[in-house]
Structure 1
Amino acid sequence: MKALFTRLLGLCLLASGPAWSQDGPQLNLPRISLSANMHLIHAQVAATPQARTIGLMFRREMPANEGMLFVFEQAATQCFWMKNTLLPLTAAFVDDDGTIVNLADMQPQSLDSHCSDKPVRYVLEMHQGWFKKRGIQAGARLSGQAFGK
């Protein structure tokens, strides 16, 4: 797992250009493909403290099957809020093997905290309702390079 994290972190550090400026959101993060059942997800990878802090803040739009995968160095109870985030999102808190631990719908520009039910290293943010529309619930499994598949 440490080798995978190091590889994902390396991708983030090689991304061209600054992660974010006063002019808008970070758009130059590395991308990976994930899947949930037969559904393809194009995810930007936020694996550095700066990229994770900014996340999807200030985005006014995002393609339907795009999201952001937050990668942490170690499993912990992860909590997210939506300050300066303009899009309604659903956060999937994900175990190392890709299993969704829990889902949380989050409202734009809210300071309400949404946390994982147990320690995780991954959080995938997608448009609010993306998981529900596809029948994907806690216990479902994501696959892709991040999860060793």
Structure 2
Amino acid sequence: MRPARIALALLLAAAPAFAQEEPQTDLPRVELSAGMHKIEAQIARTPSQTATGLMWRKQMPQHEGMLFVFPQAFPQCFWMKNTLLPLSAAFIEDDGTIVNIADMQAQSLESHCSLKPVRYVLEMNQGWFAKRGIKPGMKLAGPPFQR
């Protein structure tokens, strides 16, 4: 094989890896509220969407976040590999009750887990919940939590 063809073959083989370094910005959105505070959350549902989450994102408006929706309640654990923004994650029960909130450092492999099984996790910019006085035991409102 000639050098030009080898280079092209290597580039094409690596293309999926390069594509994975793009942030997800085209996911469906839902409006949630935490008391008087409105949140515009992208919804990550599929295994691929939840695995990528907010990776590669360099900035995120203060009123935006990502809601991870899992098929059933399990203890959920999150880490921040390839996530460039420090985030806070609220682990949430089916009715919108916040179980616990974890502050997570950018690009860390440290695991942050729910204190009990949950179906929902909401990631916001780090400190978003604390700055608004939102704590475990409080409820979020919005279509995912209306049953």
TM surpasses 0.5 = yes
Corresponding residue for residue 121 of structure 1: 119
Percent of paired sites with the same residue: 66
Once the two structures are superposed, what CA deviation does each residue of 1:75-124 show, in whole Å capped at 9, x if it has no partner?
00000000000000000000000000000000000000000000000000
SS in 2 for 1:143: coil
Which of residues 36, 41, 44 is equivalent to 1:43? Answer: 41
Task: Kindly name which structure, 1 or 2, has the bigger radius of gyration based on alpha carbons.
Answer: 2
Task: Figure out how many residues of one structure are paired with residues of the other and give that number.
Answer: 130
Give structure 2 stretches of 5+ with no counterpart. Answer: 1-17
Which of residues 135, 139, 148 is equivalent to 2:133? Answer: 135
RMSD (Å), alpha carbons: 1.2
Corresponding residue for residue 73 of structure 2: 75
Instruction: Give 1:23 deviation, angstroms.
Output: 5.1
CA distance in 2, matches of 1:79, 1:88: 16
Q: Are the counterparts in 1 of residues 21 and 56 from structure 2 also a CA contact under 8 Å?
A: no
Counterpart AA for 1:65: H
4+ residue runs of structure 1 moved beyond 6 angstroms? Answer: none
Once the two structures are superposed, what CA deviation does each residue of 1:123-149 show, in whole Å capped at 9, x if it has no partner?
000000000000000001000001017
Once the two structures are superposed, what CA deviation does each residue of 1:60-89 show, in whole Å capped at 9, x if it has no partner?
000111000000000000000000000000
- Does 2:36 match 1:30? no
Instruction: Give 1:22 deviation, angstroms.
Output: 3.7
Give structure 1 stretches of 5+ with no counterpart. Answer: 1-19
TM-score (norm 2): 0.86
